[in-house]
Homo-oligomer: A and B are copies of this chain.
Amino acid sequence: MARDERSVTPQSEDFAAWYQDVVFRAELVDRGPVRGSMVIRPYGYRIWELLQADLDGRIKATGHQNAYFPLLIPQSYLQREAEHVEGFAPELFTVTHAGGKELEEPLVIRPTSETIIGEMMAKWISSHRDLPLLLNQWANVLRFEMRPRMFLRTSEFLWQEGHTAHATAADATAETMLALGFYQDTAAEIAAMATVPGEKTPSERFAGAERTFTIEGMMRDGRALQAATSHFMGTNFATAFGITYTGENGTAELCHTTSWGMSTRMIGGLVMTHGDDKGLVLPPALAPYQVVIVPIGRGEQFGTTLSAATDLAATLRRAGIRTHVDERPQLSPGFKFNDWEMRGVPIRLELGQRELAAGTALMSRRLSYPQPAAAKVAIPLETATDLLVAELAAVQAMLAQRAADFRDEHTATVDSWPEFAAAVAVGWAVALHCGELACEDEIKAETSATPRCIPLAGEPEQGRCIRCGRASAYGKRMIFARAY
């Protein structure tokens, strides 16, 4: 492949084109043959596995259990919760035939599983002793998508969906916030993303939820990405599916339910939070390879450095560092350097004759911040393991800091319409709003910005709507931004 085929559109020129270039050229993903579908390639899927492992650990540590529910749901189930079916009907894939015959009732492919899990919960829960019921499922879901974007909007995606049932509204609310905490922690600690947790306004709520909470991340074009959501359903689904329990005093009561999900969309968020004009930038915690070693030399020399690289890799792997040796003989070192920069590998080590003789390797970070990238640094092979463990931790912290700084620099608290318009052109606006849908629509029409969330951390504040001047709603400021 020619060098220029591996370069990407600069972010400043066309961020959307940059994103497309990176996800394809870093081999995270490919287009599937059916419109709107995607193939997650091994390099992208490994990132998903690392995300999964972290999140699954948090889910299990808090008493949730994984289970698996059917892909196909009777069409009638969705109709039992009026808002739910209204929200999802336009996105459904419908199965009408099976085994060569037409089905008596069409089946829909799950766009989410509240309905079928609600049906099973109703069967499994009878007494207050059965509560809370804390379930989670890792699965594929399908939502028809006319304008696909890899990871961000595709007709099929992978996710986990937590579904829980509780005796009281207070218990279910606490669960909703607990799950939101999983997401915020995974985003911060593993994905090095600086998300803002908050509540969605009614227009952005999940179809069928009483309250929806979100974590919103800022991408490097200033747009917001909803990275995960957690929903308090009240008794809406319990009513629709008959999820009841007998209380301690013998009376039948409705359960309060929740659901919460994080999906492969997060990989798109990761790309747009950290990437640059050289390609992907991966936080070490999610990097399939944390360190790549490139042996340098021709002919016999290559054999010697390759052998040393292999030994070093074995040492690093024993310390838990995910290490790869690039032993492709037909490619130049320069090509390899570009290739691993495109794939976002946090640390590259070069090993040539001169380094070998000196007992060192040349280390380069994929990205440095706030200072520009340091030149290559010679590190002693003898202490390489400890040094790289520390370096990877430093890179992880550096990326989280860079994301937080970027978010803060591109977030403006505004009190006038011109300030608002200027803020959402490059980032987020924190403003008071009247809470009226018509006013939201006007803002969207003029600036493309939509209400992202009412931040949990916001201070109580009242005043005039940034757009229409009416009395503000929600009791605090909210975030508006253009969004994915």
Contacts and interface: CB of A to CB of B under 8 A. Distances in A.
A470 interface: no
Scoring A72, A109, A119 by chain B CB atoms within 10 A of each residue's CB, the highest score goes to: A72
A89 B100 contact: yes
A97 B73 CA distance: 15
B97 A96 contact: yes
A40 interface: yes
A469 B96 CA distance: 49
Q: How big is the A interface, by class?
A: 35 or more
Contacts of A158: 68
A74 B100 CA distance: 16
Interface string A55-75: 000000000011111111110
B42 A66 contact: yes
Contacts of A73: 33-34
Contact of A66 (B46, B107, B124, B129): B46
A418 B124 CA distance: 50
A139 B70 CA distance: 13
B67 A39 contact: yes
Interface stretch (A140-148, A403-411, A458-466): A140-148
Interface string A102-145: 00000101000000100110011000010000010001101010
Contacts of A171: none
Contact of A119 (B33, B97, B119): B33
B89 A68 contact: no
A74 B135 CA distance: 34
A370 interface: no
A34 B70 contact: yes
23 contacts: A30-B120, A33-B77, A33-B116, A34-B74, A37-B70, A37-B72, A42-B135, A45-B65, A45-B66, A49-B66, A70-B156, A71-B140, A90-B100, A92-B99, A92-B100, A93-B97, A94-B96, A94-B97, A95-B96, A96-B97, A98-B144, A98-B155, A99-B146
The list of the 3 closest CB pairs from A to B, nearest first, reads A42-B65, A99-B144, A40-B68
